[in-house]
Amino acid sequence: MTTDPRSLYSLIPSTDRLLNAGEFAGLLADFGHTRVVATLRQMQDDAREHIRQHQSLPDWCADWAGALGCRLASARQSALRPVFNLTGTVLHTNLGRAIQPQEAVEAVSQAMASPVTLEYSLEGAGRGHRDQALAALLCELTGAEDACIVNNNAAAVLLMLAACASGQEVVVSRGELVEIGGAFRIPDVMRQAGCQLREVGTTNRTHLKDYQAAVNDQTALLMKVHTSNYHIEGFTKSVSEQELVTLGDTLGIPVITDLGSGSLVDLSQYGLPAEPMPRQLIAAGVSLVSFSGDKLLGGPQAGIIVGKKALIERLQQHPLKRALRADKMTLAALEATLRLYQHPETLAERLPTLRLLTRSAEDIRAQAERLLAPLQARYGADFLVAVEPCLSQIGSGSLPVDRLPGAALTFTPRDGRGSTLEALANGWRAALVPVIGHISDGRLWLDLRCLEDEAGLMEILLS
């Protein structure tokens, strides 16, 4: 190309000339005049800048329509793009945790598109209360007297503390002062709720007498926090909810529990590690139990509090409830998800979280074997492609020490270079539907536990 910058600048077409070219008609119809013109102006600036720096036209100037189409399409990509989660973590917080059941998807579309009886009682033709319909379902599933639903479990904990113990003391074991990730730490939430934290016991051992000694006329609550994302082993002792409730009853102080994940069904019946259930704590006499909607429950992001009627009533009346309440889409999705629990026989099939968690290692391995040959044909020159056993994680702080045996496809670069591996991982992350695996041991692992759309994945990997 010529190096006289002045003649190079004259090769940048005017906006009018570009817009009148027939090949722009489709883009104008698709994206609209305003966006097309703004993007073309940006491209002209970019071309001028390129000439200033390199004394040449950028390559894309050979096809303005094509380059414009690419820019517009990539700017239109959603911020919430669907991906293949082959990380091996089923409830992946950064990938949006639980995938919703089809029933929830339909319920949400309906709630979005039409007025609904959110806070409207058809019997009384007046105002109802937005958690009412779901409270009945939650009571049936947990044995509680009433329920309250907020934005997430962090909000649930904040609301419980603010409504029941503001300006007073809450007794918690030192071994349960957890950090969940992000800015959620029990001592900080306590402060935000206006409560005074009374730590008792030690990191590894807390006894009933420690709680007993800490109680005074300022004590509003005894609190248990499920240590969901870590595990202490060895010389340990903690006080069960049951024991704490007995103490609380004699002193007239309610016991509350932040259960974190909280499964509504006994997971051990599916061969999964057991996780404490809200129903058990309610039966033990705990006054309020909070848990997440999008962890083991497998529904939308929500914080669910179940427990005694009088205390739930206090939560419903508190001004923070208004700030933390769930919206109609969340409530619609949660209701549809909870209804699946009323039919436990089909739960493991219809609830995606449970369906993925209960996939057998043999099933996943068979799937990996099916995909192996075409992937070897496509990638075999540069990578050793193999099927390997692996251990998946439930994720979201649930059951951190328990792993689920499964299978993965692994890609080991024949040249032994980390850069070759990175390039493969980057290429897949940049795909139309990004494929997300993980690198360890000098290999790229695609854990297939969460792969349901086999054909869709192969289309991406073989393209």
Judged by beta carbon, residue 169 or residue 176, the one nearer ligand PLP is 176
Closest distance of CB 236 from ligand PLP, Å? 18
Interacting residue with ligand PLP among 258, 275, 335, 447 (CB under 6 A): 258
Residue 298 sits in the site that holds ligand PLP (CB under 6 A) = no
Give the C-alpha separation, 371 to 378, whole Å.
11
Q: What is the 3-state secondary structure (H, E, C) of the chain?
A: CCCCHHHHHCCCCCHHHHHHCHHHHHHHHHHCHHHHHHHHHHHHHHHHHHHHHHCCCCHHHHCHHHHHHHHHHHHHCCCCCCCEECCCECCCHHHCCCCCCHHHHHHHHHHHHCCCCCCEECCCCEECCCCHHHHHHHHHHHCCCEEEEECCHHHHHHHHHHHHHCCCEEEEEHHHCCEEECCEEHHHHHHHCCCEEEEECCCCECCHHHHHHHCCCCEEEEEEECCCCCCCCCCCECCCHHHHHHHHHHHCCCEEEEEECCCCCCHHHHCCCCCCCHHHHHHCCCCEEEEECCCCCCCCCCEEEEECHHHHHHHHHCHHHHHHECCHHHHHHHHHHHHHHCCHHHHHHHCHHHHHHCCCHHHHHHHHHHHHHHHHHHHCCCEEEEEEEEEEECECCECCCCCEEEEEEEEEECCCCHHHHHHHHHHHHCCCCCEECEEECCEEEEEHHHCCCHHHHHHHHHC
Interacting residue with ligand PLP among 69, 88, 299, 303 (CB under 6 A): 303
Residue 393 sits in the site that holds ligand PLP (CB under 6 A) = no
Closest distance of CB 404 from ligand PLP, Å? 19
Closest distance of CB 71 from ligand PLP, Å? 37
Interacting residue with ligand PLP among 39, 142, 292, 358 (CB under 6 A): 292
Interacting residue with ligand PLP among 107, 148, 180, 333 (CB under 6 A): 180
Closest distance of CB 154 from ligand PLP, Å? 3
Residue 152 sits in the site that holds ligand PLP (CB under 6 A) = yes
Identify which range of 60-68, 225-233, 276-284, 432-440 contacts ligand PLP by CB under 6 A: 225-233
Interacting residue with ligand PLP among 228, 263, 330, 410 (CB under 6 A): 228
Residue 337 sits in the site that holds ligand PLP (CB under 6 A) = no
Do residues 79 and 429 make contact, with C-beta atoms less than 8 angstroms apart? no
Closest distance of CB 396 from ligand PLP, Å? 6
Q: How far is CA 57 from CA 18, 35, 60, 268, in A?
A: 17, 24, 8, 65
Residue 176 sits in the site that holds ligand PLP (CB under 6 A) = no
Closest distance of CB 152 from ligand PLP, Å? 3
Interacting residue with ligand PLP among 69, 175, 397, 406 (CB under 6 A): 397
Judged by beta carbon, residue 261 or residue 392, the one nearer ligand PLP is 261
Encode 217-247: b = buried (16+ Cβ within 10 Å), e = exposed. eebbbbbbbbbbbeeeeeeeebbebeebbeb
Judged by beta carbon, residue 43 or residue 172, the one nearer ligand PLP is 172
Give the C-alpha separation, 125 to 412, whole Å.
66
Closest distance of CB 199 from ligand PLP, Å? 17
Residue 387 sits in the site that holds ligand PLP (CB under 6 A) = no
Closest distance of CB 204 from ligand PLP, Å? 19
Q: What angle do CA 344, 96, 229 make, to 5 degrees?
A: 80
Residue 394 sits in the site that holds ligand PLP (CB under 6 A) = no
Interacting residue with ligand PLP among 154, 197, 286, 331 (CB under 6 A): 154
x-or-dash string of contact with ligand PLP, 84-123, rule CB under 6 A: ----------------------------------------
Judged by beta carbon, residue 152 or residue 358, the one nearer ligand PLP is 152
Closest distance of CB 454 from ligand PLP, Å? 31
Residue 261 sits in the site that holds ligand PLP (CB under 6 A) = yes
Identify which range of 149-157, 239-247, 304-312, 332-340 contacts ligand PLP by CB under 6 A: 149-157
Residue 278 sits in the site that holds ligand PLP (CB under 6 A) = no
Residue 321 sits in the site that holds ligand PLP (CB under 6 A) = no
Number of residues in contact with ligand PLP under rule CB under 6 A: 16
Residues that bind ligand PLP (CB under 6 A): 152-154, 157, 178, 180, 184, 225-226, 228, 258, 260-261, 292, 303, 397
